[in-house]
Structure 1
Amino acid sequence: MSLAAWLTFLVAAVLISVSPGAGAINTMSNGMRYGVRRSLPAIMGLQLGFGIQILLVGAGLGAIIASSNIALSVIKWLGVAYLIWLGISKWREPVMESMDDDRQPVSGHKRFWNAVFVNLTNPKATVFLVALFPQFLVADAPHGPQLITMGVTLILVDCLVMLGYALLASQLFRFMTTARRQRQMNRVFGGLFVTAAVALASFKRA
């Protein structure tokens, strides 16, 4: 993977990671209730679930990448359409009254495996990976090193973003959950989904 392609992939990875989903909600909930340090088991669990998804998607795409430009194009534009749909949905998403709860503290071990399950069963993560990988894989180069590079990049970016969410939730939860701020955040993140869609639509594989 060239430096230019990796930088483009990095931008897409950042935009996708900062757009809230099930993993971000899980992290913010933990950050609010336990603080940043005690949120680490859940964040690591999210990355394990994400890593398994990366392995499964990467293994399944190999044959398609090598043999069918039409399939690649279909996957790409389905991914673009899905990102735009997510952006519109996020923009119009109603605000929540509260993300707090009164449950008893949960052990770090249990929160780790809960987080693994959250990302492992997250269809958005699967669709994102299926939409992303074909645009950046070079068909006539070994797929393994490319997939490892992209997988490591995705996990590191997501880990840093989740740490940021945990820190933000632990410090600014009341600010974040007012109805006005939620609407603003929904519109910002909706715009980020559409920005990611535009980036994917305009990028051409080597």
Structure 2
Amino acid sequence: MTRKLGGGSLVIATHNEGKLREISALLAPYGLKCISAGSLGLPEPPEDGKTFVDNALIKARAAAEASGLAALADDSGLSVDALGGRPGVYTADWAERQWFEGDPGRDWYMAMGKVEGMLQQLGPDTDRSAAFHCVLAIVWPGGEHEVYEGTCSGSLTWPPRGEMGFGYDPVFVPEGRDQTFAEIDPQEKHSMSHRADAFAKLVADQFGS
């Protein structure tokens, strides 16, 4: 039987305030007060799992154990069929950290170029199918957990198009559309994204009748 979230506080296992705001807005109708692991001063555990599920559970488990509260974590990334599912859990790592105006950031154009270069090496008729994946993991202090997986399928294009997305969005065209995620209005993108799919499953399971 699924363990259910009650009211009260839920730790979001992130140090990213933007992600905290996004998740807080999604869960606000269900009476949950979301607080970030960063605001509690919790350390970030090494994400050394082999799958999205592994990494989401690592982050949620660490936050739940350290805070004594239920914790929610997500892990997401891009898988490319012709590349055997890569970059997968290494999606962010393919965008190596660079220094821009004194702040460390990831070079996503380089990451997109790396994927494109590998596809071009495979030839002009290579399958360009790809999918974004999101895993949401809830862990309670006693160790019980629930996992929800979301997917958004599509294909890769080149060169990058659009200014509204981030990460690999400028080269990802969702199924049934001819625009990249970076060309689609953010609100519309959020409604069809891999994260939206995972959250819909979480809400149905946790808060459905």
Structure in which a larger fraction of residues adopt helix: 1
Q: Given the two structures, how large is their TM-score scaled by the length of structure 2?
A: 0.27
Higher relative contact order (CA 8 A, sep 6+): 1
Q: Indicate the structure with greater strand content.
A: 2
